[in-house]
A and B are shown apart, each in its own frame.
Chain A
Amino acid sequence: MARFQYLILMGLCVLITLPLEFVFDARVWRRPRRLAVALAPAFVVFVLWDLWATSTGTWGFNPEYTVGVTLPGGTAIEELVFFIVIPVCTLLTLESVRNVLSGRVRRPGARVR
């Protein structure tokens, strides 16, 4: 189980932020095309950075806590998951904050439009 630590952490991030989609009507998961466009530039930049940093040895991944599937240079595939999950969590937070500040969502469950 220890080898799944990184993936489990990412799964928890998805689960914990999922209610924002509905309680605060964030509409991030429900706009998949816009979401893909939003994630793409950062994904490219930060994965390239990751590949470079791992191959030069600036950082590496503990084989005890990763599943062991790596990209060329040694980047753990969990990193690809990270660059999708963490941005999604952030966008869910952003849209929830906007909906609350604008008064579109007054309190959990009570939608105003």
Chain B
Amino acid sequence: MPPVYPTLSIVVALGVVVLELLVIRSGIFRQPAYWLTMLVVYGFMIPVDGWLTKLSAPIVVYRDSDTSGLRPVWDILAEEYLYAFALLTLVILAWDHAGRAEHRRDDSRARP
């Protein structure tokens, strides 16, 4: 059995990609603003997630056998980047979806 945390992270990240490409189809992955945002957020993820998971004084503690064991930057597990991608992309998709719904409501009020 592969370790559960990286496996689930891959599954959930792929699930979010499929949700966008097949269901929502907002075109978010073609927007430079999305990728620039992810770049900035990943930059801030290093100190924040690093502080949470650093092995010297961790706030969040993982069972080693459930993780990939790969901690390339400041002890942050490799699968955490996939986890973050899934979490934040899902939030952005829902934010834009809610924004489009608001616009439609406004438009229908403006043009009765």
A73 in the interface, Cβ–Cβ < 8 Å?
Answer: no
A45 in the interface, Cβ–Cβ < 8 Å?
Answer: yes
Query: Measured between C-beta atoms, what is the minimum distance from B80 to chain A in Å?
Result: 11
> Which bracket fits the contact residues of A?
35 or more
Query: Measured between C-beta atoms, what is the minimum distance from B106 to chain A in Å?
Result: 12
- Main SS at interface, chain A: helix
B98-A53 in contact (CB<8A): no
Query: Measured between C-beta atoms, what is the minimum distance from A47 to chain B in Å?
Result: 11
A62-B60 in contact (CB<8A): yes
Beyond A34-B99, A49-B12, A101-B32, 9 additional contacts (C-beta under 8 Å) are A37-B98, A39-B91, A42-B94, A57-B63, A59-B5, A59-B63, A62-B58, A65-B59, A90-B41
Interface residues of A (CB under 8 A from B): 5-6, 9, 13, 34-35, 37-42, 45-46, 49, 53, 56-62, 64-66, 83, 86-87, 89-91, 93-94, 97-98, 101
Interface residues of B (CB under 8 A from A): 4-5, 8, 12, 32-34, 36-37, 40-41, 44, 48, 51-52, 57-63, 66, 87-88, 90-92, 94-95, 97-99, 102
